[in-house]
Amino acid sequence: MQPRDTSPEPTEASVAMPDIAINGRFLTQSMAGVQRFAIETVKAIDALIDSGEYAALKGHIEIVAPRTAREFPLRHIPVRRCGRSEGYFWEQVEFPIHAGGRLLLNLCMLGPIAVRRQIVVVHDATVRAFPASFSRLFRAAYGFLIPQLCRRADCAVTVSEFSRREIGRWYGVDAGNMPICFEGGDHITAVEPDHSIMDRLGLRGRSYFLAVGVGSNNKNVETVLAAFNRADLPNTLLVLTGKREARVHGRQTEVTLPGVRTAGFVSDGELRALYAEALGLVYPSRYEGFGLPPVEAMMCDCPVIISDQPALVEMYSGAALQCGMDDVEELARLMRLLAEDPAQRAALVAAGRSRASRFTWRATARFLLDLSMEQVSR
């Protein structure tokens, strides 16, 4: 399935703009996929205001965040820190109080369940479909809150057709008309590559494959490691990025295999440098709502291997090599192909670049702003 273009026509200045309070809890959290979605979407909204396309929104939107929120400088969207707590209590109780009846825009899965006048982006149903990847407390909170939000909020949005089906399946809600808002990947090309990571990991002059975001069990790092060993590529390394958050994902098993470099959390600049020099991104994930690393890699001209997981096929089929999610032998074969066939790599780079151009944060921001205006006009 080819991704559709979610970018609507620019909004006319004469259209009335809603008063919006963005849920800023993401500014207290570690960076993961949903926090990335929030940060880049808000930056794109700010840029749309600055460009004049949504100039009428200036003064009608702010981020409402806990007092512990980190700095997030923007030109037109202020951050207001408030409340006495953070976490779930702040989000459920203090955020709606301080938002003062405005339309709430929640970009990271959750919002206050007592409020109807809000938009909630529910990225996936991973907590229910793949519970082993999460701690007991995290499973309990999401398992209770998400179905309540899907039923009570004026509008719940998701990021793929696959996620829409999964939300209906796992949370028992009517998701048939849930709007789909794709993610972007162009943030990775907005930063300068930080090549110091190459020295830190001993990668200068070495060939390597890259696996990104390996903290969660659904990323299938065991299959990546097994396939790397099976591929038997002399003088080729495997680099793993990401680190498990104990309170979200539980404990992590340390990887100490020869030929494997464990980078932990890396900056965007470091990640861009890793993508640019890699033989390919290896991403045989067992469960995704969208799958952001493949589009990041494609933006950096890095070939991609994905699993046959439905969301990844939906987004990237035809622009990436594909294997069964637990097919070690096939993944090893595809890794050997990328390592030994420059023409195959070049073809994938071109196809990936074309596919990645469809996914921009500006399109995401426009979609959500126009959806906000629809909600206000009803």
Q: What is the pLDDT of residue 97?
A: 97
Specify whether 198 is located in the same domain as 261. Answer: yes
User: Rounded distance, CA 373 to CA 5, Å?
Assistant: 19
Per-residue pLDDT tens over the stretch 85-113: 999 999 999 999 999 999 999 999 999 99
- Are residues 285 and 313 in contact, defined by beta-carbon separation less than 8 angstroms? no
The pLDDT value recorded for residue 2 is 44
pLDDT at position 130: 87
pLDDT of residue 278: 98
Q: How far apart are the first and last CA of the chain?
A: 32
Sheet strand arrangement including 207-211: 260-264, 236-241, 207-211, 280-283, 304-307, 321-323
Question: In this structure, are 26 and 122 located in the same domain?
Answer: yes
Q: Given this model, what pLDDT does residue 9 score?
A: 46
Cα–Cα distance between 221 and 227 in angstroms, integer? 10
3, 362 in Cβ contact below 8 A? no
By residue range, what is the domain housing residue 303? 186-356
Based on the fold, state whether residues 34 and 64 are members of the same structural domain: yes
Residues in the chain: 378
- The pLDDT, as a whole number, for residue 287 is 94
Domains of the chain: total:
2
Instruction: Establish if 282 belongs to a structural domain.
Output: yes
E-strand spans in the chain? 20-23, 61-66, 79-82, 103-106, 118-121, 155-157, 207-211, 236-241, 260-264, 280-283, 304-307, 321-323
Q: What are phi and psi of 259, to 5 degrees?
A: 85, 0
- pLDDT at 7 (0 to 100): 44
CATH number assigned to the domain comprising residue 81: 3.40.50.2000
What pLDDT does 69 receive?
Answer: 98
> Does residue 54 fall inside a structural domain?
yes
For residue 225, give both structure tokens: 């490691």
Q: Does residue 83 sit in the same domain as residue 192?
A: no
Parts of the chain with a pLDDT under 50: 1-14, 246-252
- Dihedral angle, C-alpha 224, 230, 233, 234, nearest 10 °: 120
CA–CA separation, 311 and 326 (whole Å): 16
Phi, psi of 317 (to 5 degrees): -55, 135
Q: According to the model, what pLDDT value does residue 17 have?
A: 62
